[in-house]
Amino acid sequence: MEDKTLFAQVIDKAQTWLDGNYDANTKAEVKQMLESEDKKPLIDAFYRDLEFGTGGLRGIMGAGTNRMNIYIVGAATQGLSNYLLKEFSKLDRIKVVIGHDCRNNSRKFAEISADIFSANGIKVYLFEALRPTPEISYAIRKFGCQSGIMITASHNPKEYNGYKAYWNDGAQVLAPHDRNIIAEVNRISSVDDIKFKGNPKLIETIGKDMDKAFIEEVQKLVLSPESIARHRDTKMVYTPIHGTGSTLIPNALKAVGFTNVISVPEQDVISSDFPTVVSPNPEEPAALELAIKKAIETGAEIVMASDPDADRIGTAIRDDKGDFILVNGNQTMLIFLYYIITKRKELGLITGKEYVVKTIVTTELVKTIAAKNGVEIFDCYTGFKWIADIIRKNEGLKKYIGGGEESYGFLAGDFVRDKDSVSACALFAEITAWAKDKGKTMYQLLQDIYVEYGYSKEKGISLVRKGKEGADEIEAMMKKFRSNPLKSIGGSPVTFLKDFVKLETVDFAANENIAIEMPTTSNVLQYFTEDGTKLSIRPSGTEPKIKFYIEVHGTMKSREEFDKAEEAANEKINAIKSELGI
């Protein structure tokens, strides 16, 4: 009965698109789905409305209420416009920034959004062409705007696109504005409610001047100019993986002093099809294969990559045998914060007011490094809007010196309020030069961090479950883990269980429940065991995935014990995966 009701609703929604004020191509696509014997594409396209959530929109492109298209983007922009006009009614002029990545329809969605904002009397700063996400965040602050959007699906496959909404601090929208914007978007009941006819007088194109200002801010973050000067000709390979990083990162590396940045010509080609990779995600080993090949050919020491909207960084370094190995997001975070804290101590820049931020699913080893060096640390939810929220709350009171998450995102300076691969690439190159001054490779530097602070290994596993059936399966899995909590993990008893829906920690040893102080709830479960193992489970907020994060710990007394520690950790992680059936 439920399936029949759903199908009837799908047919009704599709018919509305056929009858409504939609363009001919859209109607033809809907008609084709209606007439096809295979009704799954039709159901997936119309079984729900693509939600304008707390991070904006993200979905597969195409016709339908559950797809990214000009009408879904239009409704989002009209709803955001309506809210801005209410929230900032006392201003003479409301201003927004619009940026976009390299994906199919990204420029179209950006221009349509510019038209809609301007049709509502809102001043628009539209980037002349594709630009990195962090530059959009920066431009919002630079121009004193009230909001901004970035058209991107980040590192998702090529059939996706997305829409990130930002507030006046340059961060992605948080409460109460997120809920209020969502309410306004949901009030758009018809395509006829959307003001598509723009006012060109209110649309200003921006580009090179903003690039220059952004790079000047990156230059200010340098802590070891002498090391860079001594090792400015260090060979390094950088690839934008066909995306926006090419517009800023090579110039930023040059500006901070590096002279031997080697490109990957095949991946310098800007393309929405990402022709050289299966997935344009620097977390995926295959995405860095061409860059590593180029590094081997040229004798480069490090490899750096950014995703299509250039907010994430992926890296590779040479091991003790000279072979390239990938550095994961947790390790990158460790290297960054270890360096920033160590170097700031050398320069006398640790005053007791400094702090760093990590997400709850990021390695706990960051806490150890911060604590041993007298630096405060904050934990927050996954997503850089939460890191930005902590920066905003501490502005003028404490000094932010770095923060990041295991999913290859890092932010070195607070002039941006989202993860930033531009400054991260410059920082990674700088650390390489600093390590050389210490007589170390990046691989040896990482090993030395483990020797000094303890060894940890993290493994992320994502189970993809697409469409309505997949969403239902993910929901059932979370219910199962919540109603039947694990008693032990990898042979070690669970001592704490954190449930961020209930905002409650269960302390099994003390047999008591403790409240968790967080700004809101989140569908995350975390288990901590007697031997320091951490397991986090959560559905992705942007992709059809359920994610598992496993973290295990060990000790290293010397670099020579690294392989042994790694082997033991891998055995334990595999055993835990087997226990969980993933």
Which tokens in the block code for residue 460?
A: 């992320």
For all residues of the chain together, what is the average pLDDT?
A: 95
**Alpha helix positions (H), 153-194:** 177-186
Intervals of CATH 3.30.310 along the chain: 455-580
Architecture, CATH, for domain 50-206: 3-Layer(aba) Sandwich (3.40)
- Active-site residues, by number, are 154
Phi and psi (nearest 5°) for 262? -100, 130
pLDDT classification of 548: cutoffs 50, 70, 90:
very high
pLDDT at 229: 98
DSSP secondary structure string for all residues of 375-424: -EEEEE-SSHHHHHHHHHHHTTTSEEEEEEETTTEEE--TTSSS--HHHH
Q: Are strands 399-405 and 409-411 parallel, antiparallel or unpaired?
A: antiparallel
**Alpha helix positions (H), 240-383:** 249-256, 265-268, 289-298, 329-346, 365-372
Q: How far apart are CA 342 and CA 153, in angstroms?
A: 36
HSE-CB at 308 with a 13 A cutoff on CA atoms is 30
At 256, the amino acid letter reads V
pLDDT classification of 2: cutoffs 50, 70, 90:
low
Percentage of the chain lying above the pLDDT 90 cut? 91
Could you tell me the fold of the domain covering 213-453?
Alpha-D-Glucose-1,6-Bisphosphate; Chain A, domain 3 (3.40.120)
pLDDT classification of 346: cutoffs 50, 70, 90:
very high
pTM of structure: 0.94
Which tokens in the block code for residue 156?
A: 């998702």
pLDDT at 145 over 60: yes
pLDDT classification of 19: cutoffs 50, 70, 90:
very high
Q: How far apart are CA 566 and CA 563, in angstroms?
A: 5
pLDDT at 1: 37
pLDDT (mean) for 11-39: 95
Intervals of CATH 3.40.120.10 along the chain: 50-206, 213-453
pLDDT (mean) for 263-290: 96
pLDDT (mean) for 130-152: 98
Q: How far apart are CA 553 and CA 497, in angstroms?
A: 18
Could you tell me the fold of the domain covering 455-580?
TATA-Binding Protein (3.30.310)
pLDDT at 6: 85
